[in-house]
Each structure stands twice: as C-alpha cells, then as structure tokens.
Structure 1
Amino acid sequence: MNLCDTPSAPRGALHVQVFRRGVLIDEWEDANLIVNVAKTTLAQLIGGAGAGKTVTKIGFGTAGGGPSPDDTALSSAYQKNLGAVSYPAAGQVRFSWTLATSEANGKAIREFGLICSDGSLFSRKVRGVIEKENDISLSGTWTITF
C-alpha cells in the first residue's frame, strides 16, 4: 500500500486585466515559471530560517527574453507591494495586485515577477509588451499551487 502523494513542482498562474481609461481592453491568464531560487526560499520557510522570504511585492520589468529557471531578477523593475493574499484551495496561495494609472508610466512592460521581502525573485512571467502610459492600469491575481 502506497501512502505517499506523488510530488509535483510548484506551479503558478498569472491572470492579468489591462484597462485603458477604465475600460477593459485585454485579459489573459497563463502559466508562469517558478525559478530555482524559490526552492531554497521554500525550504528555508519550512525549516524556520525564512526571514525575508515571504512574497510581498510584484515587479514589472522590461526584458523580453524567455524565462529561465536560473533567473534572479527582473530588468529595470518597477516594484510595489501586493494587495490581498488568499488561500482559495488546499495547497494554493493567491496574491492580488494592481498597477494604477499613476505608476510605472513610460515603461515597456514585458515581464512580471513575484518578489520576496529580501528582494529575491520567486517567479517570473514574460509576455508581449504593454506600453504603460497614464491612461493604462492593470490588475490581476497570481496563484501559486503546490
């Protein structure tokens, strides 16, 4: 009799809504990469040595190169605190976030990242460019499943 669960790697899903002057103009959801540094972060959290390892920020970067498990940072990132944190199902954590019309203007956003309080990158998603101007706002959720 086998009583072990089959282990699976953590995975993420990023949901993004893009608004222009308050009107929804684009919406998408896609899987994202959990970077290798996150493995150490999770091990430290479980072992009690996780000071600075909680995910507290979202970052918006400009690099368009594909994601790699060895990624450690976003390029030219604008960072801000996450909104609400919830736990929608067993083994899941969901982070809500917004990017207001007054934030990150002039950036060509190509990458998104979840960032720990010590500045380390937890996960990264690359997509087509969003030219961030003062009439554009974004909102979304980022769900990590274990």
Structure 2
Amino acid sequence: MISKYYAPILSPNQCGSSLIQTIDAPLPLVWSIIRQFDNPQAYKQFVKSCEILSGNGRGIGSVRELKIISGLAAKRSAERLDNLDDESYVMMVSIIGGDHKLENYKSTISLHEIAGDEEKGRKTAVIESSLATVTEKMASAR
C-alpha cells in the first residue's frame, strides 16, 4: 500500500511531502474521526469551519469549503473528496479552489494498525502525503 499511494514519480515542476504520526488509539477509532470529510476541524487544527457545498459530505465527489485560521497563507480552500475507502482506510482529497497559491494539490491519508503490547494497547500510524504543481505564483511567494 505504501508504494501505491506514497511513491509518486515527480515531474520537474512538482513537489510533495509526507507526514507520519503515531496515535495511541485503535485504528477503527482514529478512522471514525479522520473519515469525516464534513468535519475536518475535528483533527486539523488550522481549520476554523467547514461548509459542504455539494454532495452529502460523506460520498465521493462531495465538495467542502474550509475557512482557515488567520495567520496562514490562505483564508479559504475548496476541496473535493476523490476517494474514501473504508476497507483500506484511505481518503484522497483534491484542492479545487480557494485563495491560496496551490495548483493541482492532492492529499492522501491512510491509516495502518501498529501491533502494541497488552499494557499499552493498539496504536495507529497515520500517513498523510501531498503533491502539488510548482507554479510561478508559488515560486514568487518565497
């Protein structure tokens, strides 16, 4: 699964990143929070609010508009749910609008169970990767 979602071949005008976090909670509990496309502020601290613009907020193709906490590079972001796989614990989102400098931005989040001992309980690894096209707008913002 790692190579399927997290080993993209980047073109010269693309950039990407990955973040791995370990959470001291069982995978089903973590997934029940992460999979809420209509409530990202439950786990993303930079989100002030979320409004569903189309779809039901839980199905592929749903679109949301996020209001971003002040002090960041953008105030709002429009995002589309591209994939939500409850069997593989994968969610894929694309940014389709907003007042930021990101173009062709795609994010993938996947969850993976980590075996723990009986005393500490089960843990979950959360991997979030992103990919975007580097444009003149982005380069001039540096």
TM-score, structure 2 length as denominator? 0.34
Which structure is higher in helix share? Answer: 2
Please give the TM-score of this superposition, normalised by the length of structure 1.
0.34
Instruction: Report which structure shows greater RCO (CA 8 Å, sep ≥6).
Output: 1
